[in-house]
Chain A
């Protein structure tokens, strides 16, 4: 009775769906070659997913291997559960080296030293990118795409109009900010909101400051958990950060806007008429957000970047970056072939050409526009290069860091208690 009334509409929809499905792509024939499938789990969706699939298509054609891509925004939960439950994907995109080392230490990642041509790798990749994906001397991950952190975006047309010059040192940057503030507009646009990861743009700020202010050794101790958050260097970095975000004249909309504005939207006031801000600190992938929300602006003319300037000349030319890491969970011939393919410059060039990604591979040289190639150059030729510290920390520390940014923005007077609770998390999460 219940069923018969459902049968008709359901049957109709069924037929409808069959018609759509029947018009879809036909199953791939296995060509002479490896055959089989390889499952890939990563967070990419939308355009990124399209880019990844485009990147692996030559691989599929060449080897006759079908790449089964599974995307999820909830990578932590899905990957942890599947690994724990005994059903890992063949290959997975790992959120960061911190995560990766947790899996490696638990023995879940395959040693890529036996899978990849390590000599070729040493040739193509900067040492830093290789080392970052190693745990206990074993290569357990590879970077297949990268991002530059630390660019400060500005509107060149507006700079020329107002007679502003690109600052070369941190002090010049602050002077410029004050100048803009005095002229009646807030100099900075900042937004921290990012769903479950809200706060991460602030961590990028802090990392840039720590690296340039206290140098790479302090930076390394910091992310490795041996430098306390309450230490004078780290506290100083937060206070420097505070000179910008704790001053309501410095940031558009003050703390309310910083906490409530999605990071992807927060740079748009650079292009409003008249502009409501002039400076935006964000990684290289923000350009896509700019152009989608403001279709008429042009790269290089309406937006360009300069790197976060040096703070202490001892540590001049310091740059932070990040990247998407791939690791292998199951040793199958298809997975091996895929991992090898993904490290080739030809493969990485495919995504790079589609835009929205940089490659850490020195042999990839063609970029779709000047800004991308400038970004890639800044990344691969940095004097002092460090990977995004929060991505290197254990997940729990990373999450606490994000939250601390939000708490600090909400009430900068609480800095000491915020740092103290970060120390507690540090003591707890680095144990394993």
Chain B
């Protein structure tokens, strides 16, 4: 492969670096502020932290990490997020495959309905679902949130996966069926492995959205300390008048740690060339 093209041209580098810098400034500003004493944060800009006197402090992070219940909340968040990520992806994958490669009446209509459902605002679903949960006795259980996040995450997941599944070359399927592969084999041995970037993408998003969710957890699970996820505990670092918001930013960065780990570890699946060479066999 041509090395110079691989390395990119100067305009490319300049563009990317400029954009990335602009993108990161707000985050850097906040990280710097999270290490400054609250009295200074309200009166001086964050850039002054790099001039004398160098007044840095860990007190915000200390407060956050020693807050009651941080460990349990983290565990609760994990308890919520892991199933709430994988169940919707599993359900979406099998549905997306059907929408992409099976023909049946109403296929397009149903699919469009699903896409349309992305717009349904979360708030209008809360009371009906809560009432149903009350009747089923599910309120306050983790199962309630797992199911809810599955329902809410499905429309986008199906939309995205169908797009990628549908982009697979038709010849692949024909070749597979000539080889005698049934639907199941095609799905598990062909479609899924070839769609790893797409699956990685939706995993990241679903994980993130559930990890950062506050409302669904508060309504269906409740905010009691033994089940409260990190988002609830973090939002309670700020008092009702908005005091101590700098703890919020410190906590936000701490809670970003895990999603970033997930994101970075899934980066390896954004590789090109999975399809390369597979067309002609």
Contacts and interface: CB of A to CB of B under 8 A. Distances in A.
B218 A195 contact: no
B193 interface: yes
Interface of B: 38-39, 42-43, 68-72, 74-75, 78, 82, 86, 123, 126-127, 129-131, 133-134, 139-140, 193, 196, 199-200, 203, 215, 218-219, 222-226, 228, 232, 235-244, 247, 258, 261-262, 265-266, 268-269
27 contacts: A2-B196, A2-B266, A5-B266, A6-B266, A9-B261, A10-B78, A13-B74, A13-B258, A17-B78, A21-B71, A21-B75, A23-B71, A39-B222, A39-B224, A46-B238, A46-B243, A46-B247, A47-B243, A70-B222, A73-B238, A78-B219, A84-B130, A85-B131, A85-B134, A87-B139, A289-B243, A292-B38
B262 A73 contact: no
Nearest to B219: A81
Contacts of B243: 46-47, 264, 288-289, 292
A59 interface: no
Contact of B225 (A19, A69, A74): A69
B261 A86 contact: no
B262 to A, nearest CB: 7
A259 B147 CA distance: 43
Given A49-B236, A85-B131, A78 B225 contact: no
Interface of A: 1-3, 5-6, 9-10, 13-14, 17-25, 39, 41, 43-49, 68-74, 77-78, 81-82, 84-87, 194-195, 262, 264-265, 268, 285, 288-289, 292-295
A78 B265 contact: no
B71 A70 contact: no
B225 to A, nearest CB: 7
Nearest to A3: B86
Contacts of B123: 77, 81
A68 B225 contact: yes
Contact of B69 (A10, A24, A78): A24
Contacts of A288: 243
Nearest 5 pairs of A and B residues by beta carbon? A85-B130, A20-B71, A70-B223, A46-B239, A21-B71
Nearest to A40: B224
Which among B140, B199, B239 has the highest number of chain A CB atoms within 10 Å? B239
B242 A262 contact: yes
A61 B262 CA distance: 42
B134 to A, nearest CB: 4
Q: Which applies to chain B's interface (DSSP): helix, strand, loop or mixed? A: helix
Nearest to B135: A86
A144 to B, nearest CB: 14
Given A1-B196, A24-B68, A72-B218, 13 more contacts: A2-B200, A19-B71, A20-B71, A24-B71, A46-B244, A48-B240, A68-B225, A72-B232, A73-B240, A78-B218, A85-B127, A87-B134, A294-B39
A290 to B, nearest CB: 11
A81 B126 contact: yes
Contacts of A46: 236-239, 243-244, 247
Contact of A72 (B38, B78, B223): B223
A21 B77 CA distance: 13
A346 to B, nearest CB: 24
A69 B224 CA distance: 6
B78 A84 contact: no
Contacts of B261: 9, 13
B241 A264 contact: yes
Nearest to A289: B243
A20 B39 contact: no
A6 B262 contact: yes
A17 B196 contact: no
B134 A44 contact: no
Contacts of A41: 223
A87 B226 CA distance: 18
B269 to A, nearest CB: 7
A18 B76 CA distance: 11
A65 to B, nearest CB: 14
B75 to A, nearest CB: 5
A85 B219 contact: yes
A293 B39 CA distance: 4
B78 A14 contact: yes
Contact of A18 (B75, B218, B242, B266): B75
Contact of B39 (A6, A71, A292): A292
Contacts of A86: 130-131, 134
Contacts of A73: 235, 238, 240
A46 B67 CA distance: 9
Contacts of A44: 239-240
B42 A2 contact: no
Nearest to B65: A20
Contacts of A68: 222, 224-226
A82 B265 contact: no
Nearest to B244: A46
Nearest to A18: B75
Contacts of A18: 75
A355 B119 CA distance: 46
Nearest to B264: A9
For B236, B258, B266, the residue with the greatest tally of chain A CB atoms inside 10 Å of its CB is B236
Contact of B236 (A45, A265, A294): A45
A25 B43 CA distance: 38
A1 B236 CA distance: 37
A24 B225 CA distance: 12
A82 B130 contact: yes
B213 to A, nearest CB: 13
Contact of B265 (A9, A39, A43, A295): A9
A264 B140 CA distance: 36
B264 to A, nearest CB: 9
A45 B224 CA distance: 13
A5 B268 contact: yes
A350 to B, nearest CB: 17
Given A9-B261, A86-B131, A17 B71 contact: yes
A22 B243 CA distance: 30
A17 B236 contact: no
A81 B261 CA distance: 35
Contacts of B222: 39, 68, 70
